[in-house]
Structure 1
Amino acid sequence: MAQSDFRSGYIINQQNDTVWGKVDYRQDSKRYQQCRFKKEDQIAEYSPQQIKGYGFSNDEAYSSVVIDSSFVEILVEGKLSLYRQGPKFYVQKKGEKLQVLERKVETIIKDNKTYQRESDAWKGIMIYLTSDCLKNATNLLTNMHVTERDLTQLVVKYNKCQGTNLTVYKEDKPWTKLVIGAAVGATYTTLKTTYHMDMYSYMKDRYTSIDPTVGVVLDFSSPRIMEKLSLQPEVYFTKSSYTGFVVLNTVASTDYHNTQIDLTTISIPISLKYSLPKREYSGYIQGGFNFDYHIKAATNLRTEKAWLYDTVTTTESKAFDVNKKQGGFWGGIGFLKAFSHFDGSINVRYFHMLKLSQTAGIDMNSDKITFTVIIYSK
């Protein structure tokens, strides 16, 4: 029930009456088998045998009268109509039988070699159905494939050529969508050090820092193909500073080691984002890879030696070398709230980054926990 996504819609009963309410929006195969309809907090489930169809306001529509015992999505209605059921498409010209269009791969043997190619049988069907008005139908189909976008464009073109009334469902639903956002947050970072040579015993096992971060977010999606999944690349700018203090006792002296690490970093996290059904507060999960580029990196080691006779010697040097480039992976969860002019989001993320140091004898990885607020444009 948590995954239910009831949206404004309707059902068409056996008496051809349209009953308005809310319909559960699904993007899996169940949408062709069943309709879940809510009216006044009562939920009913309808099979294709019980209703003639259902749909959503200004969005998808389904019919149970095209093929037996199943719903099909109506893409275009006109003199030539187009329907879809999963990977299969159906076309029907008024007065003619229903035709099936699907992508098939055929095996060709030529010169004792075996090849595979996409069958053109579906193109023959479309040429037959459209050539009475589209005289260049063969040329139009040259670079087309069995996809919703290509077939919709062809069927719409034919109906407009005929000058007949037509309905194009999902016409206002974009094929691609880009949302831009601005982000601000805080990052808690832990640098974990393992050294394999005693000469690096001045290093602490871990260094920590809490730093502000700002960034830009891009969210790419294809609502016509998969509404809940999007690709989200981001860019963040962070300045961080880490300090460590280690005391080492030797036979002749006591050594005090202060290490300072300063990083100015551009981070580029790229993720796949899965959004839960939109409500007043809706959630999402995401995960992917992260690339850090340290545009400025400085490390400093300051050592003070206290000898037995209280003489102090101070030296300064580079603590270790830093890799300019650092890769890793991450995952996170977030919550989104829609406002009038923008969408607001908060999220928590965990990053595991590899190989900060390029110095032989030192292994240094970093773990980051970030808390971010993102404002998305409408």
Structure 2
Amino acid sequence: MKMILFRLICLKTCLLLIPVLYAQNNYRPGFIITVQKDTIYGEIDYRTDKMNAKRCVFQSQGNDTEPVTYHPFEILGYRFTDDGKYYVSKNIELKYGVSTPVFLEYLLQGMKSLYYYETEDNIPIYFVEDNNTLVKIDAPKLSKQSTNIQFKGQTDRYIPLLHYAFKDCPSLAPQIDRARFSRKEIIKITKEYHYAMCTSNEDCIEFEAKEDKRSIQLDITPYVGVIQYNVPSGSPIGLYSSPELSYLAGVTLAISNRRWMSSLSGCFDVSFSRITSSARSLNNENSSTIFKHSGTMFSGKLGIRYTYPKGMARPFVELGADFSGMINAKIKINDKSERWLDGVYPGYYANAGVNFKLSRKNKQMICIRAQFKGLRDMMEKSALVNGWSGVIGYTF
């Protein structure tokens, strides 16, 4: 009955989490610049380059207001204050004669400003602005004809385009000829242009984007704790008494995408623990038989975790699949030993816990977690063993 109730609770939790996860945003501190050139501070939904170029989902300071979605030219621009990403409204031509309003990412603001845009086909494009004119700098990818034969096309055409964009600075020509088509290289050329052409005593570069952080984040959490296994009714495990309290040690890898949804992680976990049990049976001849079961359980888990994304204490819940097998498992009857519990046993797990951040800037955390797992014997089509555990870990 307890197992049925637990499964119903897990199912209900999953059903409740689905709409919550779909509705989740990825808010970061920032501000918008209105068409009246007013600055309004709040939080902005931080997503991929393609999504950030289409719209700005903004929530002003205070939780009593609903988020507002702005499109290009409904505001002049917006900026994230934590990592400095800055977007402005511009009209660009991706196809000849067709103007498209977008939010371009500001990479450098100065005598000639540099912008970045990513197309729906994941093609990076840079724009150099001079006297309100945008010069498109792109490098077409390899194309395929209907015969499936690849041809190079004009993959190096960004070189003459860069020459055109910086034609008033001939000293840049050798550097442009050697340039690779990369964010770092094109920013470097634009900065060199300002170093060569700026004659005033003031800094001619008004804004420069910070180096783009990796969008994929990997959190590693080694942990130790205790686990209490118990045998459900009808289990074929063959124990004569309840398992003893055991140690538990392992490591969890959590992978998230800070540009998509930093609060949702895919988790991979490996751990090991012990199952031990001993019992004594009295015989008719005033003798006794001692039964001892022992073995090391090695477990691998795959799951999905949701973590509340704000504050120094961040609760999380996690659900997933468990695959466990026994190593050096044996049953000892008096002085005779036999093998015990061969094979791999599938199951499921659910856990909940809290991550306590050690500082606001760094990701190091102390993790405290409680977990339930249940394994099944697929041959016998019955529950094999359950386990409740509590651990403490360090995330880096």
* Aligned residue number for residue 8 of structure 1: 29
* Aligned residue number for residue 11 of structure 2: none
* Aligned residue number for residue 200 of structure 2: none
* Aligned residue number for residue 20 of structure 1: 41
**Offset of 1:88 from its aligned partner?**
5.4
Structure 2 residue 55 is matched with structure 1 residue 33? yes
Structure having the larger proportion of residues in strand: 1
* Aligned residue number for residue 88 of structure 2: 63
Identify if the C-alpha distance between structure 1 residues 99 and 273 changes in structure 2 by more than 3 Å, giving closer, same or farther: farther
**Offset of 1:176 from its aligned partner?**
5.2
Between the aligned partners of 1:23 and 1:247, the Cα distance in structure 2 is 71
Question: What are the Cα deviations for residues 265-314 of structure 1, in whole angstroms up to 9, with x where unaligned?
Answer: 44444545443422354343445555556454231235xxxxxxxxxxxx
**Offset of 1:260 from its aligned partner?**
2.5
Amino acid of the residue matched to residue 346 of structure 1?
I
Contact 2:44 2:56 in 1 (8 A): no
Between the aligned partners of 1:121 and 1:373, the Cα distance in structure 2 is 57
Question: What are the Cα deviations for residues 148-186 of structure 1, in whole angstroms up to 9, with x where unaligned?
Answer: xxx423432432443454855352634554544342333
Structure 2 residue 311 is matched with structure 1 residue 279? yes
Size of the alignment, in residue pairs?
A: 336
**Offset of 1:7 from its aligned partner?**
3.5
Question: What are the Cα deviations for residues 225-277 of structure 1, in whole angstroms up to 9, with x where unaligned?
Answer: 763454544443423313468899xxx99x98764321234444454544342
Structure 2 residue 153 is matched with structure 1 residue 81? no
Contact 1:90 1:98 in 2 (8 A): no
Quick one: which of 66, 70, 74 aligns to 1:47?
Answer: 70
Quick one: which of 69, 92, 102 aligns to 2:127?
Answer: 92
Identify if the C-alpha distance between structure 1 residues 83 and 107 changes in structure 2 by more than 3 Å, giving closer, same or farther: closer
* Aligned residue number for residue 198 of structure 1: none
Contact 2:222 2:250 in 1 (8 A): yes
**Offset of 1:18 from its aligned partner?**
2.6
Q: Structure 1: which 5+ residue stretches go unaligned?
A: 142-150, 196-201, 303-315
Question: What are the Cα deviations for residues 200-222 of structure 1, in whole angstroms up to 9, with x where unaligned?
Answer: xx935995454232334444555
**Offset of 1:28 from its aligned partner?**
9.7
* Aligned residue number for residue 334 of structure 1: 353
Identify if the C-alpha distance between structure 1 residues 225 and 194 changes in structure 2 by more than 3 Å, giving closer, same or farther: closer
Secondary structure of 1:155's counterpart equals helix
State the Cα RMSD in Å: 4.7
Contact 2:370 2:388 in 1 (8 A): yes
Contact 1:346 1:372 in 2 (8 A): yes
Structure 2 residue 136 is matched with structure 1 residue 115? no
Secondary structure of 2:90's counterpart equals coil
Between the aligned partners of 1:35 and 1:93, the Cα distance in structure 2 is 27
Between the aligned partners of 1:331 and 1:116, the Cα distance in structure 2 is 51
Identify if the C-alpha distance between structure 1 residues 122 and 185 changes in structure 2 by more than 3 Å, giving closer, same or farther: farther
* Aligned residue number for residue 241 of structure 1: 276
Amino acid of the residue matched to residue 171 of structure 1?
E
Question: What are the Cα deviations for residues 318-344 of structure 1, in whole angstroms up to 9, with x where unaligned?
Answer: 454333766655443433232338423
**Offset of 1:51 from its aligned partner?**
1.4
* Aligned residue number for residue 16 of structure 2: none
Amino acid of the residue matched to residue 309 of structure 2?
P
Quick one: which of 358, 367, 371 aligns to 2:386?
Answer: 367
**Offset of 1:11 from its aligned partner?**
1.0
Q: After alignment, is 56-65 or 163-172 more displaced?
A: 163-172
Identify if the C-alpha distance between structure 1 residues 40 and 324 changes in structure 2 by more than 3 Å, giving closer, same or farther: closer
Q: After alignment, is 158-167 or 202-211 more displaced?
A: 202-211
1:1-378 → structure 2 map (5 Å cutoff): 3=24, 6-26=27-47, 31=52, 32-43=54-65, 45-48=68-71, 49-59=73-83, 60-66=85-91, 71-72=102-103, 74=105, 76-78=107-109, 79=112, 80-84=114-118, 87=122, 89-95=124-130, 96-97=133-134, 99=136, 106-109=143-146, 114-115=147-148, 123-130=155-162, 132=173, 133-137=175-179, 140=180, 151-163=182-194, 165=205, 167-171=207-211, 173-174=213-214, 177-191=217-231, 203=238, 208-221=243-256, 223=258, 227-230=262-265, 232-243=267-278, 259-288=291-320, 290=322, 292=324, 294-301=326-333, 317-318=336-337, 320-323=339-342, 330-340=349-359, 342-353=364-375, 365-377=384-396
Secondary structure of 1:16's counterpart equals coil
Between the aligned partners of 1:333 and 1:116, the Cα distance in structure 2 is 53
Secondary structure of 1:115's counterpart equals coil
Identify if the C-alpha distance between structure 1 residues 134 and 190 changes in structure 2 by more than 3 Å, giving closer, same or farther: farther
Identify if the C-alpha distance between structure 1 residues 203 and 267 changes in structure 2 by more than 3 Å, giving closer, same or farther: closer
Secondary structure of 1:159's counterpart equals helix
Between the aligned partners of 1:247 and 1:9, the Cα distance in structure 2 is 74
Amino acid of the residue matched to residue 177 of structure 2?
K
**Offset of 1:10 from its aligned partner?**
0.9
Q: TM-score, normalised by structure 1?
A: 0.66
Question: What are the Cα deviations for residues 18-76 of structure 1, in whole angstroms up to 9, with x where unaligned?
Answer: 33333344569765334322135553625224311112113233322345786535162
Identify if the C-alpha distance between structure 1 residues 244 and 134 changes in structure 2 by more than 3 Å, giving closer, same or farther: farther
Secondary structure of 1:371's counterpart equals strand
